[in-house]
């Protein structure tokens, strides 16, 4: 059995979308980040950085395996099942490149943009302009790629899952993002229509 420790956020939803796409049975433990549940010793033992998503897999013989971070979770299960990642080395290289853009550029930059433009007590124009510019670079790169390809790699893969929740969050936040990037909108709407994505986006309820 798999227990997913998560919270309603884009990083958490990458993990739940993946588990739904793979049809794996899992239970959900909602970690209340607002109440600081992520700082408790039992959660620290699963996620040393005290961030969700994290996951525990019970294995035969009473053993268990932990995984923390959306990137590690996506890579582990795609490798274990041989699904959601292309076999062909050229296609896999493309998939890994977009996967890493989602994990190391789009995700952190989206969070930093929110922090500096909304949450910061003092609005620092340099920081807001910097993260806005970086975010536009991510959106423009994805939009250009999606002008020539249906998905970020050749076929739906963990690259799409690594990026989708942050694009969905930006779409919900407004600001006309999807109106400015037509290919990104077409891709967003197609991914959002997948039943497994809809189930994963609703976790935790
Ligand atoms: N690199 C991690 C980042 C995870 C992350 O930032 N999680 C946030 C919620 S989206 C969190 O747990 N924040 C709690 C905290 O910072 O204390 C990933 O890709 O999963």
Q: Are residues 101 and 154 in the same domain?
A: yes
Q: Are residues 177 and 146 in the same domain?
A: yes
Ligand 1 centre to CA of 115 (Å) is: 13
Query: pTM for this one?
Result: 0.97
What is the reported pLDDT for 176?
Answer: 85
Q: Are residues 183 and 93 in the same domain?
A: yes
* Residue keyed to tokens 């950085």: 49
Q: How far apart, in whole angstroms, are the C-alpha atoms of residue 32 and residue 171?
A: 25
Q: Are residues 103 and 147 in the same domain?
A: yes
pLDDT by residue, tens only, the chain of 205 residues: 999 999 999 999 999 999 999 999 999 999 999 999 999 999 999 999 999 999 999 999 999 999 999 999 999 999 999 999 999 999 999 999 999 999 999 999 999 999 999 999 999 999 999 999 999 999 999 999 999 999 999 999 999 999 999 999 999 988 888 889 999 999 999 999 999 999 999 999 8
Q: Of 26, 57, 83, which residue constitutes the final position of a domain? A: 83
Q: Are residues 76 and 109 in the same domain?
A: no
Q: Are residues 15 and 77 in the same domain?
A: yes
What is the reported pLDDT for 76?
Answer: 98
Both tokens assigned to 51:
């961030």
Could you give the number of structural domains in the chain? 2
CB atoms within 10 A of CB 59: 10
Q: Are residues 73 and 169 in the same domain?
A: no
Ligand 1 centre to CA of 12 (Å) is: 8
Ligand 1 pocket by Cβ (under 6 Å): 7, 9, 11, 33, 38, 50-53, 69-71, 103, 107
Q: Of 33, 48, 83, which residue constitutes the final position of a domain? A: 83
Both tokens assigned to 15:
């993990």
Structural domain including 57 reads: 2-83
Q: Are residues 154 and 63 in the same domain?
A: no
Q: Are residues 94 and 109 in the same domain?
A: yes
What is the reported pLDDT for 70?
Answer: 98
* Residue keyed to tokens 């799409």: 160
DSSP 117: I
Is the residue at 204 inside a domain?
Answer: no
């Amino acid at each position: 059995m798999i227990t997913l420790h998560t919270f309603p956020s884009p990083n958490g939803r990458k993990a739940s979308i993946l588990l739904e796409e793979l049809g794996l049975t899992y239970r959900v433990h909602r970690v209340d980040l607002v109440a600081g549940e992520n700082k408790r010793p039992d959660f620290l033992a699963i996620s040393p950085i005290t961030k969700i998503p994290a996951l525990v897999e019970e294995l035969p013989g009473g053993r268990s395996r932990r995984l923390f971070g959306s990137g590690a979770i996506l890579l582990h299960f795609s490798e274990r099942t041989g699904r959601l990642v292309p076999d062909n080395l050229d296609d896999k290289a493309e998939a890994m490149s977009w996967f890493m853009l989602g994990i190391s550029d789009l995700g952190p930059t989206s969070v930093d943009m929110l922090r500096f433009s909304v949450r910061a007590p003092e609005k620092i124009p340099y920081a807001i302009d910097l993260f806005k510019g970086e975010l536009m670079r991510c959106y423009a790169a994805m939009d250009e790629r999606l002008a020539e390809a249906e998905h970020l790699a050749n076929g739906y893969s963990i690259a799409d899952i690594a990026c989708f929740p942050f694009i969905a969050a930006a779409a919900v936040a407004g600001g006309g993002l999807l109106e400015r990037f037509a290919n990104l909108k077409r891709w967003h709407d197609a991914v959002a229509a997948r039943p497994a994505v809809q189930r994963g986006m609703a976790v935790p309820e």
